[in-house]
Amino acid sequence: MLTYALRRLLISIPIILLATFLIFMAVSVSGDPLADLRQLPNITQEQIDNVREARGLNDPLPVQYLRWLEQIPQGGFGEYLISPRPIWPDLRRVLGNTLQLVIAAEVLAFILAVALGALSAKRQYSVFDYTTTTLSFFGYSMPSFLFALFLQVIVVQIFVRTGVRIFPIGNLSSANPGTGIAFVLDRMWHLALPIASLAIFSVASYSRYMRASMLEVIHSDYVRTARAKGLPERTITIRHSMRNALIPTVTVAALSFGTLLAGAIVIETVFGLDGMGRYFFQQIGRRDPYPIIGWLTIVGVIIVVFNLIADILYGYLDPRIRYE
C-alpha cells in the first residue's frame, strides 16, 4: 500500500513539472511581463533594461524556467517579477481561505448528495425521484457563476425591498469579525452563498452516482437476505445498503476535488473573496508567469493527493481491491 502510494506520487511529479513548464512558456511568450513597469511615469529605458537583466529576463525561457525550478527545494516559489516580494506568503494566505470554501462545499455537497441519492433510489420512480432527477439536470445546466449571481440578486432584492440583509454578497469577514466563536460564525455567514454556489454542481453529480449505486445495491441478494431474516428496514437501508452504495460516491467526490478548486476561480471572482481563484485570475492579468506556475504546482499537488486519497479510500472501503 505504502509503496503504491509512493509510486503514484513519484509518477505525478513529472506531470506537474510538464504542466508548469507548458504554462510558463505560454504565459512568457504571450506578453511583456514588465508592461506594468513601463506604465510608470518616471521610468527610463535604462531602468527597465536593468530590471530585465537583474530578473534574468534576457536569458532563454527554458533557462528561466530551470532557475525557478532550482529554488523550489529551498522552500518557496520565488518572487514576483516587478516587486521583489516572495510569492509564497500570498499563496499561503489565499490557499487557507480557499480551502475553507472548497472543503465546506465538498462536505455539504457530499452529505446532501448521499441523502438525496439514497432516498431517490429507495423511492425509484416516485415524485421525489423525478423531482431530484430534474433538479440534477438543472444543476448540470446552471453554470456556477450564474447560480451565484442569481443568489446575489435575490439577496440584494430582499435587502432593497425589506431592508433585511440575509447574507453578505462579498468579502470573507465583517469589518469587526471578533474572535473565537464569533469569528467562525461571521466567516460561515459570509461564506454561505459562495459555498452554496460552489456545491450545486457537485450535489447534482454526486447524487446521480449515489442513486445509481444504491439502486444496484438494494436489488442485490444480501439485501434480500437481510430483509428475509426480519431486520428492520432502517437497519437494512443504513447499515447494509448505504454503506456499500457509498463506495463509488466517495471515490467520485474525492476525484472531483480538482473541479471544485477550479470552480472556486469563478466563485471567488463573483463574491470578491481573497482566495486562490481570484489570486490566479489577478495574476493572469499581470502576465507574471511565476505566481501562476506556483499556483499551478500547489493545485496540481492537491489534486494528486486527492486522487491518491480516492484510491486509498476505495481500497479501504472495498477490501476486494488490492494494490500492488
Can you tell me which of 80, 145, 183, 189 binds other proteins, judged by CB under 8 A? 145
Instruction: Output 78 or 248, the one with its CB closest to other proteins.
Output: 248
Q: What is the nearest approach in angstroms of other proteins to the Cβ of residue 112?
A: 17
Considering the complex, state which of residue 73 and residue 285 has its C-beta at the smaller distance from other proteins: 285
| By the rule CB under 8 A, 244 interacts with other proteins | no
On the 0-12 / 13-18 / 19+ scale of CB atoms within 10 A, 75 is exposed
86, β-bridge pairs: 79
Stretch in the footprint of other proteins (CB under 8 A) among 35-43, 65-73, 170-178, 309-317: 309-317
Q: What mask of x and - would describe binding to other proteins in positions 21 to 50, judged by CB under 8 A? A: --x--xx--xx-------------------
Our CB check for other proteins shows the closer of 57 and 284 to be 284
Angle at 317 between CA 125 and CA 209, to 5 degrees: 25
Alpha carbon distance 194, 234 (integer Å): 35
Based on the shown chain and the rule CB under 8 A, indicate whether residue 166 belongs to the binding site for other proteins. no
Q: Which of 104, 116, 191, 299 binds other proteins (CB under 8 A)?
A: 299
Distance, in Å, from the CA atom of 167 to the CA atom of 50, rounded to the nearest integer, reads 50
The CA angle 248-253-255, to the nearest 5 degrees, is: 95
Q: Assign residue 60 a region: left if phi > 0, alpha if psi is -120 to 50, beta otherwise?
A: beta
Site string for other proteins, 1-20 (x = CB under 8 A): -----------x--xx-xx-
Residues contacting other proteins: total by CB under 8 A: 65
Site for other proteins in 258-297 (CB under 8 A): 258-259, 261-263, 265-266, 269, 280-281, 284-285, 292, 295-296
Is residue 106 a contact point for other proteins (CB under 8 A)?
Answer: no
**323 forms part of the interface with other proteins (CB under 8 A):** yes
Judged by beta carbon, residue 2 or residue 54, the one nearer other proteins is 2
252 in helix, strand or coil? helix
Picking from 210, 281, 278, 269, the residue whose alpha carbon sits closest to that of residue 242 is: 210
With CB under 8 A as the contact rule, the residue among 212, 223, 312, 313 that binds other proteins is: 212
How many helices and strands (H and E) does the chain possess? 14, 0
CB atoms within 10 A of CB 5: 15
Kindly state the smallest distance separating residue 289's Cβ from other proteins, in Å.
Answer: 10
Under rule CB under 8 A, residue 114 binds other proteins: no
Give the residue, chosen from 63, 153, 184, 238, that forms a contact with other proteins under the rule CB under 8 A: 153
> Does residue 138 touch other proteins according to CB under 8 A?
yes
DSSP 8-state class, residue 73: G
Q: Is residue 152 a contact point for other proteins (CB under 8 A)?
A: yes
Residue pair 278/266 in contact (Cβ under 8 Å)? The answer is: no
Could you tell me which of 203, 98, 65 has the C-alpha nearest to residue 142? 203
Distances (CA, A) of 6 to 2, 12, 80, 305, 316: 6, 10, 32, 11, 17
| 7 vs 135: CA distance, rounded Å | 41
Under the rule (CB under 8 A), what is the footprint of other proteins? 12, 15-16, 18-19, 23, 26-27, 30-31, 133, 136-138, 140-143, 145-146, 149-150, 152-153, 156-157, 160, 204-205, 208-209, 211-213, 215-216, 248, 251-252, 255, 258-259, 261-263, 265-266, 269, 280-281, 284-285, 292, 295-296, 299-300, 303-304, 307, 310-311, 314, 321, 323
